[in-house]
Amino acid sequence: MVMKRLAILEEEKTAADKRIEEEYERRMNNEDKYYLEKRELLMETITDIQEGVYGSNEAEETAVKEGSESNATKFTA
């Protein structure tokens, strides 16, 4: 009788451990999924910021060059 009850308890413990392992695996998969999504979003944001910064720098450089060329034309004429 005691051995049968011990065997049942052992089976219950094994089943509970298996459920815990499955839950842990689901949580890790969920964490990985959201980590990758957050990383992708941040990388897109970084790209947008860099494009904005370099785009505005290029626009400023173009404006400065155009201004310099315009001034040089005025002085040579």
Q: What is the DSSP letter of 1?
A: -
* pTM passes above 0.95: no
State the pLDDT at residue 63: 65
Nearest one of 59, 58, 61 to 69, comparing CA atoms: 61
pLDDT at 17 over 80: yes
**Who's near 33: CB < 8 A, 6+ residues apart?**
none
Predicted confidence (pLDDT) at residue 75 exceeds the cutoff of 90: no
Residue 60 pLDDT level (bands cut at 50, 70, 90): low
Determine the pLDDT at residue 19: 98
Which pLDDT score, from 0 to 100, does residue 73 have? 55
The pair of three-digit structure tokens given for residue 55, joined into one six-digit string = 């785009």
Which sign does the torsion angle of CA 39, 42, 44, 47 carry? negative
Q: How many whole angstroms separate alpha carbon 53 and alpha carbon 41?
A: 18
pLDDT at 15 > cutoff 90: yes
